């Protein structure tokens, strides 16, 4: 079991695990949209979603808690903010907030989503109910909107920083799901909703956070240059933040990587929950660059990770037609990415201009022929 270091147990953990009065049961409000409600689950309705599973996991750990499922399918954070006061009126100990995927579908900005969620947390705190935030789970590649999770990931960035700044608890569902093998094939009922096994994983993530069991390695946010960016000046400053909301990042074992190699980045922070990394290359960058990190946290034993955050193209680099992932080579990964886009038209949620190689507004056999002409070739 991974345990937390001395100083980083959150108020949520203390509130939940403190010895209750005789016969007292903790009241946990699980507030959100269809993912909280349990759409896609095969269990009978009272037991659908992560809340019922969470209650069972807490009971197994000796924590008496009623987890109330307050999920409303289709709800946005603005609608949730309006609904929340009535939900809080009955009282409770903890408020679990996981909402915003419908906002992403309606092109609401990540900053607005985070603002609404922070306001929900403020309303709960005013009533003595401690808010716990959760990042959104990723959506599958067949989703009509945000199939590459560009916006969903940025919501995660905002919530990671919100939880850090407010000293709040965070369940990083986005990290848990994106780091799970074959997640969309095994754990999803449709592009948006988990299946029963997926809800098992989501409940486990909530339970581990509340019980102080750290199984999530450090996560990043606010990465610059952005993934997929082109025309990046060769001497651009590279930056990102690392977060670990339970145990903290082990600064002595956290490194920026460029093309898999460590560089001497400047690391600044006064607390281990967030580290800022900055690096300006001594020699100009060229071609396609992979920016990443290697890190571990302060849990015992530590959670370790090495991850690529962004692949970007330096100004002046010429890429081959068909190099959809912009790694300098046209290969099987590009073909797989192209297959997901095949048949889409400009204006479709699934359409991505990277696959429209002849720029005619439709991804079809003509584009496939252009990709095939360069298959197996490298640009540099």
Q: For each successive 10 residues of the chain (380 residues), what is the average pLDDT?
A: 45 53 79 98 95 98 96 99 97 97 98 99 97 98 91 98 96 99 97 98 98 97 95 97 96 97 93 95 95 98 97 94 92 95 87 93 97 95
What DSSP letter does each residue of 113-160 carry, written as one string?
Answer: HHHHHHHHHHHHHHTT-EEEEEPPPPPPTT-SS-TT-HHHHHHHHHHH
Q: What per-residue confidence (pLDDT) applies to 366?
A: 97
Co-location of 133 and 56 in the same domain: yes
Residue 270's pLDDT is what? Answer: 74
**Residue whose entry in the numeric block shows the structure tokens 């290359």:** 281
Within-domain flag for 247: yes
Cα–Cα distance measured from residue 378 to residue 360, given in angstroms and rounded to the nearest whole number: 25
**Which distant-in-sequence residues (6+ apart) come within 8 Å of 95 by Cβ?**
28, 29, 31, 88, 120, 121, 124, 129, 130, 131, 132
My answer on whether 323 and 379 are in the same domain is yes
Domain end: 275, 297, 313, which one? Answer: 313
Q: Are both 224 and 183 inside the same structural domain? A: no
Whether residues 329 and 195 share a domain: the answer is no
What pairing do the DSSP bridges indicate for beta strands 169-171 and 130-134? Answer: parallel
Residue 328, domain member (yes or no):
yes
CATH number of the domain bearing residue 237:
2.60.40.1220
Structure tokens at 1: 């079991």
What are the strands, taking DSSP E only, across the chain? 26-32, 65-71, 94-98, 130-134, 169-171, 219-224, 238-243, 255-258, 261-263, 266-268, 274-279, 288-296, 304-313
Name the domain boundary from 167, 188, 211: 211
Based on the structure, what is the number of domains in the chain?
3
Residues 44 and 153 in one domain: yes
Establish if 1 belongs to a structural domain. no
Residue 241 shares a structural domain with residue 353: no
Residues 11 and 78 in one domain: yes
- pLDDT value for 17: 55
Asked whether the beta carbons of 336 and 377 are under 8 A apart, the reply is: no
In the sheet with 266-268, reading across from the earlier edge strand, the strands are 219-224, 238-243, 274-279, 266-268
> Of 161, 191, 211, which residue is a domain's last?
211
In terms of domains, do 41 and 149 share one? yes
pLDDT at 10: 53
Residue 170: inside a domain: yes
**78 in the same domain as 174:** yes
Which domain does 358 fall in, by range?
Answer: 318-380
Residue pair 239/277 in contact (Cβ under 8 Å)? The answer is yes
Helix (H) or strand (E) holding 56: helix 49-60
How far is Cα 289 from Cα 312, in angstroms, rounded to an integer?
A: 5
CATH classification of the domain holding 370: 1.10.1330.10
């Amino acid at each position: 079991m991974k345990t937390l270091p001395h100083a980083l147990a959150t108020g949520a953990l203390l509130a939940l695990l403190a010895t209750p009065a005789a016969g007292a049961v903790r009241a946990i409000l699980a507030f959100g949209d269809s993912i909280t409600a349990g759409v896609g689950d095969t269990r009978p309705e009272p037991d659908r979603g992560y809340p019922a599973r969470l209650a069972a996991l807490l009971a197994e750990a000796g924590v008496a808690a009623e987890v109330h499922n307050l999920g409303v399918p289709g709800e946005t954070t603005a609608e949730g903010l309006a609904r929340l006061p009535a939900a809080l009126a009955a009282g409770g100990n903890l408020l679990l907030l996981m909402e915003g995927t419908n906002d992403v579908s309606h092109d609401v900005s990540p900053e607005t989503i985070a603002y609404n969620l922070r306001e929900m947390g403020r309303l709960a705190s005013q009533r003595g109910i401690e808010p716990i935030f959760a990042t959104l789970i990723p959506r599958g590649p067949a989703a009509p909107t945000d199939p590459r999770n560009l916006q969903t990931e940025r919501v995660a960035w905002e919530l990671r920083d919100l939880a850090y700044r407010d000293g709040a608890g965070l369940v990083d569902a986005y990290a848990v799901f994106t780091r799970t093998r074959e997640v969309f094939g095994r754990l999803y009922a449709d592009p948006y909703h988990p299946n029963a096994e997926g809800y098992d994983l989501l409940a486990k993530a909530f339970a581990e956070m509340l019980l102080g069991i750290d199984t999530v390695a450090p996560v990043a946010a606010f990465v610059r240059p952005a993934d997929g960016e082109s025309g990046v000046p060769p001497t651009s400053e590279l930056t990102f933040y690392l977060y670990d909301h339970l145990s903290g990042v082990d600064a002595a074992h956290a490194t920026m990587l460029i093309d898999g190699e460590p560089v001497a980045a400047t690391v600044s922070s006064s607390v281990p929950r967030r580290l800022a990394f900055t690096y300006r290359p001594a020699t100009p960058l060229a071609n396609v660059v992979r920016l990443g990190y290697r890190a571990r946290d302060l849990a015992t034993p530590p959670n370790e990770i090495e991850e690529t955050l962004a692949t970007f193209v330096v100004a002046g680099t010429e890429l081959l037609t068909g190099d959809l992932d912009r790694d300098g080579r046209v290969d099987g990964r590009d073909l797989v990415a192209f297959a997901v886009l095949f048949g889409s038209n400009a204006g479709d949620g699934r359409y991505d201009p990277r696959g429209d190689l002849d720029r005619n507004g439709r991804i079809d056999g003509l584009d496939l022929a252009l990709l095939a002409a360069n298959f197996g070739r490298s640009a540099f």
